[in-house]
Amino acid sequence: MARPQNILTVRKIAATKKAGRYGDGGGLYLRVTESGSQSWSFMAAVNGKRVEIGLGSTKALPLATARSIAGNMREAIAIGSDPRLVIAPKLAPEIVTFGKFAEEYISSVESGWKNPTHRQQWRNSLRDHAKLLMDKPVADINTDDVLAVLKPIWMRIPETADRVRGRIERILAAGKARGIRSADAANPAQLRGHLDILLPRQPKLSRGHHAALPYKDAPTFFAELTGRVALTARCLEFTILTAARSGEALGADWSEIDFAAQLWRVPAERMKAGVAHIVPLSTTAIDLLNKMRGDEEKPTGRIFAVSGAQRSNMAMAMLLRRMKYSNITTHGFRSTFRDWAGDCTEYPKDLIETALAHTIQNQAEAAYRREKAIERRRPLMQAWANFLTASNVAK
């Protein structure tokens, strides 16, 4: 028995004020929002998935026109075509892929992110782990699609997997807010009450804690690191020598290096605490930079960039994995430095904390340390470099 069509009337449409979706038959629906605005949509199965295709406002499309478009779309489905592609071009909704919309979304909000490394991490994590979604229409992405992305990394690299899931969830939520995804669609990347039921329980994420290499093993590790030729190895080497955060080193610019004074001046906008930081560079760190700049008198741009693009934190994490040190993190080398300085040197704790650019609550004291302690920190950083490059490394 054929389902009824042409259920709605012009009068009924004008009288309908309550929010909801009202069927006319044949896949055509009248949608009414809470504000009272009305629009047409067409519901259909496309590639085995139920999709809702917006047609436009009832003010622009009278009932007869909406029915005509719906008829054309039914014919397209009958011959195996995508109804979104065969309706009149001026009415055909744009098919927005996840990759395209993700870039639009990141570009629209990244000005509010203080750390430029955070912007790059968003793009890199999606590029590296969400490839399966990039060419799919945002409107069509479902739970199976998200699971296909997460399952390979969910238990292997849980912290990265959790970040990728959260970023996918935000992008799909933005797609819904923009009207690209159906207003009725649940977010397939939602964790609580959804993916947490379908995925195995992860190891507890180590937020705020970063596994560190015991300082007694640091010279052996550093010798192995310096034997590698990759640019990522040089970045990790510089990160360790300066006791810097990985994002600070990854974003280091040649303009920040003062070769004459042997200083690295990190501007406030690139620091976690929003306060400029100056790092006295050891002779080992200066030698590393001199080798990288070669014969260039005044090199420009990011020191550790590849084709002008800043690397993500994952680059150094993957290097550690290739070196069979997957049990430690890049950030953990700051703890290695702190433990070494506390156990093996007589430098005061406040000087060590200043070298790590840790926030000091007393602003006057903080300013004093920044301005006056630079040269006091120089022998500390040199002693650290000497320890890392000691000639008596265990064979």
Per-residue pLDDT reduced to its tens digit, 86-117: 555 544 556 789 999 999 898 888 877 766 66
How deeply is 320 buried, as exposed, middle or buried, from its count of CB atoms within 10 A (0-12, 13-18, 19+)? buried
pLDDT at 28 over 50: yes
Compute CA distances 303 → 150, 222, 239, 308, 313, whole Å: 33, 20, 12, 9, 15
How far is C-alpha 159 from the chain's CA centre? 12
CA–CA distance, 354 with 375 (Å, rounded to integer) = 12
- The CA angle 45-46-52, to the nearest 5 degrees, is 65
pLDDT reported for residue 144 = 94
Radius of gyration of the chain (CA): 29
Amino acid at 203: P
Q: Pick 391 or 42 by higher pLDDT.
A: 42
Tens digits of residue pLDDT in 111-152: 777 666 667 788 888 998 999 999 999 988 999 999 999 999
Which band of pLDDT confidence, cut at 50, 70 and 90, is reported for residue 169?
very high
* Dihedral of the alpha carbons of 57, 62, 65, 71, in degrees to the nearest 10: 70
- 320 three-state secondary structure: helix
Query: Can you list the domains of the chain with their CATH numbers?
Result: 10-86 (3.30.160.390), 98-198 (1.10.150.130), 215-388 (1.10.443)
Q: Among 1-5, 22-26, 197-201, where is mean pLDDT lowest?
A: 1-5
pLDDT at 206 over 50: no
CA–CA distance, 128 with 140 (Å, rounded to integer) = 21
Which band of pLDDT confidence, cut at 50, 70 and 90, is reported for residue 203?
low
Residue with tokens 């949509």: 41
Residue with tokens 């810097």: 244
pLDDT at 207 over 50: no
> Shortest CA distance to 132 belongs to which of 111, 177, 160, 102?
102
pLDDT at 395 over 80: no
Which band of pLDDT confidence, cut at 50, 70 and 90, is reported for residue 6?
confident
| Percent of the chain with pLDDT strictly greater than 90 | 34
CA–CA distance, 27 with 74 (Å, rounded to integer) = 8
The number of residues making up the chain comes to 395
Which band of pLDDT confidence, cut at 50, 70 and 90, is reported for residue 177?
confident
Q: In this structure, are residues 46 and 85 in contact, taking their beta carbons and an 8 Å threshold?
A: no
CA–CA distance, 209 with 20 (Å, rounded to integer) = 48
As a whole number of Å, the end-to-end CA separation of the chain is: 84
pLDDT reported for residue 172 = 94
pLDDT reported for residue 364 = 47
pLDDT reported for residue 88 = 52
CA–CA distance, 259 with 370 (Å, rounded to integer) = 19
Tens digits of residue pLDDT in 211-228: 788 999 999 999 999 999
pLDDT reported for residue 257 = 93
**Per-residue tokens: 197:** 């039921």
Q: Among 73-77, 205-209, 349-353, where is mean pLDDT lowest?
A: 205-209
Helices (H), 155-215: 158-177, 196-198
DSSP 108-155: HHGGG-S-HHHHHHHHHHHHHH-GGGTTSBGGG--HHHHHHHHHHHHT
pLDDT at 369 over 60: no
pLDDT reported for residue 353 = 85
Tens digits of residue pLDDT in 267-321: 888 887 778 889 999 999 999 999 988 888 788 888 988 777 777 778 888 899 8
Q: Edge to edge, what strands does the sheet with 257-258 contain?
A: 257-258, 263-266, 277-280
Strand partners of residue 25: 28
How far is C-alpha 370 from the chain's CA centre? 32
**Per-residue tokens: 146:** 């998200």
